[in-house]
Amino acid sequence: MATTDFEGASFSPDEKKILFSSNGSGIFNAYSVPVKGGTPTPLTQSKTDSTFAVSYFPKDERILYTRDQGGNENSHLYVRGLDGKEKDLTPGDNLKALFAGWKEDDGSAFYVLSNERDARFFDLYKYGAKTYERTLLYQNEGNYMVAGISRDEKWIALGKAQTTADSDIYLYDVAKKEHKHITAHEGIANHSVSEFDPDSTALYFLTDEGSEFSRVVRYVLATGKQEEVERANWDILYTSFSKKGTYRVTAINEDGHTVIRLHNMKAGKQVVLPQIPEGGITSVSFAPSEKRMAFYHVGDRSPSNLYVYEFATGKATRLTHALNPEIDPEDLVDTQVVRFKSFDGLEIPNILFKPHQATPENKSPAIVWVHGGPGGQTRKSYSAMLQYLTNHGYVVLGINNRGSSGYGKTFFTADDQKHGREPLRDCVEAKKYLASLPYVDGSRIGIAGGSYGGYMALAALAFHPDTFNVGVDIFGVSNWLRTLQGMPADWEAFRAALYQEMGDPVKQEQMLKDISPLFHAAKIQKPLLVIQGANDPRVLQAESDDIVAAVKKNNVPVEYVVFPDEGHGFTKTKNEVEAGSRMLQFLDRYLKGSSPAPAN
Give me the DSSP letters along 162-215: EETTEEEEEEEETTTTEEEE----SS---EEEEEE-TTSSEEEEEE-TTSSS-E
Return the pLDDT at 593.
83
Indicate the average pLDDT of the chain. Answer: 95
- Residue 596 in this model has a pLDDT that exceeds 60: no
Return the pLDDT at 276.
86
Return the pLDDT at 485.
92
Q: In the predicted model, what is the mean pLDDT of residues 508-518?
A: 97
Q: Which of 6-20, 23-37, 273-287, 416-430 has the lowest mean pLDDT?
A: 273-287
Between the CA of residue 45 and those of 39, 54, 84, 518, what are the distances in Å?
16, 16, 11, 41
C-beta separation of 585 from 6 below 8 A? no
Instruction: List pLDDT tens digits, range 305-321.
Output: 999 999 999 999 999 99
Q: In the predicted model, what is the mean pLDDT of residues 213-231?
A: 97
Return the pLDDT at 341.
98
* Ordered alpha helix ranges (H), 234-304: none
Instruction: List pLDDT tens digits, range 437-469.
Output: 999 999 999 999 999 999 999 999 999 999 999
C-beta neighbour count of 85 within 10 angstroms: 8
Q: Which helix (H) or strand (E) holds 510?
A: helix 509-515
Return the pLDDT at 423.
98
d(CA 471, CA 474): 10
Instruction: List pLDDT tens digits, range 228-287.
Output: 999 999 999 999 999 999 999 999 999 999 999 999 999 999 999 988 888 899 999 999
d(CA 157, CA 162): 17
d(CA 296, CA 319): 10
Return the pLDDT at 459.
98
Q: In the predicted model, what is the mean pLDDT of residues 555-575?
A: 95
% of the chain beyond a pLDDT of 90:
93
Residue 422 vs residue 3, higher pLDDT: 422
- Residue 97 in this model has a pLDDT that exceeds 90: yes
73 phi-psi bin (left φ>0, alpha ψ -120 to 50, beta other): left
C-beta separation of 159 from 145 below 8 A? yes
d(CA 471, CA 370): 11
Return the pLDDT at 279.
86
- Residue 542 in this model has a pLDDT that exceeds 70: yes
Return the pLDDT at 24.
94
| pLDDT band (50, 70, 90) for residue 493 | confident
| pLDDT band (50, 70, 90) for residue 342 | very high
Looking at residue 504, its amino acid is D
Return the pLDDT at 598.
43
Give the chain's domains with CATH numbers.
Answer: 333-478+523-592 (3.40.50.1820)
d(CA 505, CA 513): 9
- Residue 472 in this model has a pLDDT that exceeds 50: yes
Residue 489 vs residue 472, higher pLDDT: 472
End-to-end CA distance of the chain: give it in Å, rounded.
22
Return the pLDDT at 595.
40
Q: Which helix (H) or strand (E) holds 583?
A: helix 573-587
% of the chain beyond a pLDDT of 70:
99
Instruction: List pLDDT tens digits, range 158-217.
Output: 999 988 999 999 999 999 999 999 999 999 999 999 999 999 999 999 999 999 999 999
> For residue 514, how many C-alpha atoms fall within 13 Å in the half-sphere facing its CB?
11
386 phi-psi bin (left φ>0, alpha ψ -120 to 50, beta other): alpha
Residue 330's contacts (CB-CB under 8 Å, 6 or more residues apart) are none
Return the pLDDT at 594.
47
Return the pLDDT at 2.
81
